[in-house]
Amino acid sequence: MKDANNLDSLKLREDQLKARKGELSRLIGEAKKNGSDAGELIVEMGVVSAEFKEVTGKIKDFKKAQRQQVGQSSDVLSDGPPDKAKQAEKLQQIVEEVSSAPQILGLAVKAFRVVEVDAEPGLRASWEEYVDQHLQASPYHKLWVKSFVESVYGHPCRFICALDESNRVVGILPLTQLNSRLFGNFIVSAPYFNYGGILADSKQVAQMLLADAVRWRDQVGASHIELRHLTTSNLGLPQRTEKLTFWLALPEREEELWLSFKPKIRAQIKRPQKEGAEITIGGAELLNDFYAVFARNMRDLGTPVYGKNFFHGFLSSYGESARVVIGRLNKTVVACAIVIGYGRRMEIPWASTLQEANSSGINMLMYWEILKFSIHQKYQIFDFGRCTEGSGTYKFKQQWGATPVRLHWDYGLAEGRDAPKLNPDNPKFKLVIAVWKRLPVWLTNTVGPLLVKYLP
């Protein structure tokens, strides 16, 4: 117990020092940019960096001693004690590299104009190349989202990019307007998905993109712009950070991941296998099975469901890197998910299990099969999708050993407007949710898609 407490103390101090290093780096950059004296900050950075190196060294030594004490061999592929040290180091390196990278780079880059992506020949290819090279990019920054949203829901989209004096793309911002009498008029980057917002080479470029978005907001009479950033943008906008996701670093072999799980998790995965549970991973041919489970589960949660055409359009627009997963228990489909891969990351934006099947543990088996699939497809990070801290979903994702990553959503509010509260936790929706849970599935499948197209 004492050893565990010592390790926890070291990890806590490591996190504190890492956070301070990031803050000092930002302050030094700002001081240099403003022509201010950064001497004291640089001195403190040296002290903090030295202590950080000392603490990380102690953690490595501590873990090495633990492994030697246990006598664990990395060649053992059984239910023995997992070698978590290597996995933890990889988690720190890979997850931190992506999740802490700046949304807006600190380069000395200026934008000379902002244009829509379809305004000039060749910009679409330049847009895609820019997104692919940016560490904070998500699949929802890509241009397929524009054609998908326009074709499925007909919402107005403005995908704008900033160009420098040589017409090189130095920043992008995908925008979609949602306008309805029931939920209001607002702009989102990007609706329906967890990520979006500005990608830019400098703060000046980001401010130009934001200014163009604000002009469109005021032109169409929208109440706000919602920018779904992963990390803080430092744009000085009102921000919400209550939502999180979980990222799990994936090893090269599934056996390594299996050994990293606690015995309780491994037992929960094995149990449904003994009951004849089966998991299938495929394409659009599984969509009907997926939708039958997903639509019913959304009704049970009191949430309007997307139409089947939404998912069909999603799969058609994105291509082979999006896969459908279904879980059968006694030959009956009771669990489902859709996963999407981009860059180094596999994400699970939608997943459901029928309530009566929860006790079987088939959702544990389904997630394990998806994690295995992700490893075989050579992805390095698994993204469990967003949730609210402390919720049941939060605890389910946390148990896999994943790292919580806090989301930063910025709001460009029109004058006199407050940040929106379009979420199921809003007390004014409690009665509606309670009624929705009691409606027949055929009715929620008819009415739900008409509502959810205007919900971000």
Whether a cis peptide bond, with omega within 30° of 0, leads into 190 is yes
Give the residue with greater pLDDT, 192 vs 13: 192
* Residue range 160-167: mean pLDDT, rounded: 95
pLDDT tens string 297-334: 999 989 999 999 999 999 999 988 999 999 999 999 99
pLDDT for 263: 93
Q: Where are the alpha helices (DSSP H) in 254-361?
A: 254-260, 263-274, 287-301, 308-318
pLDDT for 424: 60
Number of neighbours of residue 19 by Cβ within 10 angstroms: 12
pLDDT for 143: 97
- The mean predicted confidence, pLDDT, of the chain is 86
pLDDT for 78: 38
Q: What percent of the chain has pLDDT over 90?
A: 61
- Domain borders along the chain are 1-43, 113-241+409-416, 244-405
Amino acid identity of residue 439, one-letter, is L
Whether the predicted pLDDT of 266 surpasses 70: yes
pLDDT for 35: 72
Q: 220-249 burial string, b = 16+ CB within 10 Å, else e? A: eebbbbbbbbbbbbbbebebeeebbbbbbb
pLDDT for 127: 97
Asked if residue 245 lies in contact with residue 194, where contact means CB atoms within 8 angstroms, the answer is: yes
Work out the pLDDT band at 434, boundaries 50, 70, 90: confident
Q: Which fold has domain 113-241+409-416?
A: Aminopeptidase (3.40.630)
Consecutive H or E run containing 401: none
CA distance 427 to 187: 23
* Residue range 160-182: mean pLDDT, rounded: 95
* Residue range 137-153: mean pLDDT, rounded: 96
Q: What percent of the chain has pLDDT over 70?
A: 88
pLDDT for 63: 62
* C-alpha distances in Å from residue 62, one per residue of 69, 100, 115, 213: 11, 26, 54, 51
pLDDT for 317: 93
pLDDT for 81: 42
* Residue range 434-441: mean pLDDT, rounded: 85
Domains 113-241+409-416 and 244-405 share a fold: yes
* Residue range 27-40: mean pLDDT, rounded: 72
pLDDT tens string 319-378: 889 999 999 999 999 999 999 999 999 999 999 999 999 899 999 999 999 999 999 999
pLDDT for 392: 86
pLDDT for 54: 82
* Residue range 6-34: mean pLDDT, rounded: 73
pLDDT for 73: 33
Q: pTM (2 decimals)?
A: 0.78
Instruction: Domain 244-405: give its CATH code.
Output: 3.40.630.30
Whether the predicted pLDDT of 76 surpasses 50: no
In the chain, DSSP finds a helix count (H) and a strand count (E) of 14, 16
CA distance 350 to 385: 8
Whether the predicted pLDDT of 71 surpasses 50: no
pLDDT tens string 82-131: 455 655 666 567 777 777 778 888 778 888 899 999 999 999 999 999 99
